[in-house]
């Protein structure tokens, strides 16, 4: 894979704003999970297309927690260590649904436009 195909996700990248938040909400929606696992999952799920610098993950988590979209508890992991597990709040779930819907509308619209212009070129 060429370097240029990897989206480096940080506040200054070209990725639409709020995408990182949306991805985090999606990951956390499956089950309560700690920060490291979120980073791992994001990497696996996006098959290395999206690379989240771990440095910007935590500020995002804290921001979402502060906005009441995520809750957090300290729990033991399978290996017996204490870690901060994030889970989705009711408000977070609503936000996730709204964001997902709006994301889908956006991508559909973009895809439509792209198809149109291809059609026009033929």
Partner 1 sequence: MNWWHRLIRRSEMEETLEKEMRFHLEQHMSALIARGIDPAEARRRARIALGGPEQVKEECRDARGTRWLEDFWQDFRYALRTLRQRPGFAAVALLTLALGTGATTVMFTVVNSVLLKPLPYREPDRLITLDEQTDKVTSSIWGNIWAFAYPNYLDCKRESRSLAMSAWRYNGSTVSVNREVEYVDGIETTYDLFSILGVTPFRGRTFLPEDDKPGAAPVIIISNGLWQRLYAGSPEAVGSSLTFDEKPYTVVGIMPAGFRLNEDEYDVFTPLGQDTSPSLQKRDMHPGIQVYARLQAGVTLVQAQTELSLIARHLAEQFPESNNGRNFRAQPLHADVGDVGSTLWLLLGAVSLVLLVACTNVASLLLARAVSRERELAMRVALGAGRGRLVRQCLTESAVLGLSGGAFGICLAAWGIRSFVGFWPGTLPRAAEVHIDWRVLLFALAVSLVSGILFGLAPALRAPFKNVEQTLRAGARTVTANSRLLHGAFVISEIAMAVVLLVSAGMLARTLLRLSALNPGVNVRNVLTTRVALSPATLSNPGAIRAAWPDILDRARSVPGVESVATVDTVPMRDGNNRIGYCTTPDVPPADKTPLALANSVTPDYLEVMGIPLLKGRFFDDHDRLGNELVVVIDDVLAELAFGKEEPVGKRLWLPGRDSPFSSGNNTADAVRVVGVVGHVRYWGLASDDQAQVRAQFYYPFAQVPDPLLHRWSELMSIAVRTSVPPLNLVQALRQQLRGAVGGVGGDQALYEIHTMEQLASDSLSRQRFLLLLFGIFAGLALVLACIGIYGVLAYLTGQRVPEIGIRIALGARPNSVMWLVLRQSLGMIVVGVAIGTAAALAAGRVLQQLVQGMQPIEISTFAITIPVLVFAALFASFVPARRASRVDPVIALRQD
Size of the site for partner 1 (CB under 8 A): 19
**What tokens were used for 101?**
């819907």
55 in contact with partner 1 (CB under 8 A): yes
Backbone phi, psi, residue 85, to 5°: -95, 130
Among 20, 28, 34, 96, binds partner 1 (CB under 8 A): 34
How far apart (Å, rounded) are the C-alpha atoms in residues 17 and 111? 19
Q: Is 87 in the site for partner 1 (CB under 8 A)?
A: no
Beta carbon nearer to partner 1, 52 or 96: 52
Q: Do you know the residue count of the chain?
A: 122
Residue ranges in 8-27 that form contacts with partner 1 under rule CB under 8 A = none
- CA angle at 25 for the pair 20 and 30, rounded to the nearest 5°: 135
104 binds partner 1 (CB under 8 A): no
In whole angstroms, the minimum distance from the beta carbon of 109 to partner 1 comes to 31
- Say whether residue 73 binds partner 1 (CB under 8 A): no
* CA 22 and chain centroid, separation: 4
> Rounded to the nearest 5°, which phi and psi values hold at 118?
-65, -45
* Minimum distance from residue 33 beta carbon to partner 1 (Å): 12
Confirm if 7 and 1 have CB atoms less than 8 A apart: no
Give me the residues that bind partner 1 (CB under 8 A), please: 34-36, 39, 53-56, 58-60, 62-63, 66, 74, 81-84
């Amino acid at each position: 894979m060429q370097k240029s195909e990897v989206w480096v996700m940080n506040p200054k990248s070209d990725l639409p704003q709020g995408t990182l938040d949306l991805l985090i909400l999606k990951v956390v929606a499956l089950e309560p999970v700690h920060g490291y696992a979120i980073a791992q999952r994001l990497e696996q799920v996006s098959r290395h297309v999206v690379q989240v610098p771990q440095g910007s993950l935590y500020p995002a988590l804290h921001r979402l927690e502060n906005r009441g979209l995520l809750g957090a508890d300290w729990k033991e992991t399978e290996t017996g260590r204490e870690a901060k597990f994030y889970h989705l709040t009711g408000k977070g779930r609503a936000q996730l649904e709204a964001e997902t819907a709006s994301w889908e509308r956006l991508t559909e619209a973009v895809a439509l436009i792209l198809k149109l212009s291809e059609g026009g070129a033929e």
